[in-house]
Structure formats: C-alpha cells, structure tokens
Amino acid sequence: MDTLQALTKCFKAMAPDVRRATVYLSPKLVVSLCRRHKYHKRNTREDLVAKIGVPNYLETRFIAKCRAAGEPFPIKKVQLKTWPAGKKAI
C-alpha cells in the first residue's frame, strides 16, 4: 500500500465523532489525518491536517505493542481516536 492509498483509507474512516485516523505502513512510516475543530451544527468549517512521516511518541508505543503481539506491517485496520467525552450535567 502506498501513501496515497493510505491517505484515502484515512479519509474514508473519518466520521463526525472521529478526531484522528492513523494508518501504519511500516515501523518508521505513518499516515494520519487529524480534524482541527469538533463537528457541530453551527460550525460549517471542516479543516483536516494530513501527516505523512515518522510516528510520534504514542504511535511508537502502539507500534511496539503490535510488534510484541506479532502483527505484520502494514497494519490492516485504521486506528481511530475520538474526541474526549464532555462533562455531564448533574
């Protein structure tokens, strides 16, 4: 899988409640797509930031866990991170 296919895979995985979608191509190459603003009805802006390159600290820890589990690269599933849950009224 090349980087363009991985970026397309990230874009298809982005739902309104997803903040970041990451595809792991190799232990040294990661493609991720991140949303800058949380989705709500009044906000019509959709800003997405694409990153292709070396994994950050949390992604490196995830790669180490995948290697320990014997997962082959590229990892088939897209890793999704959602927005943090808001405070609930009492």
Domain residue spans of the chain: 3-79
Place of tokens 């292709």: 52
SS3 content of the chain, % helix, strand, coil (to 5): 25, 30, 45
Residue 59's pLDDT is what? 92
Under 8 Å between Cβ of 57 and 30: no
pLDDT, tens digit, 9 for 90 and up, residues 49-78:
999 999 999 999 999 999 999 989 888 899
Q: Model-level pTM?
A: 0.84
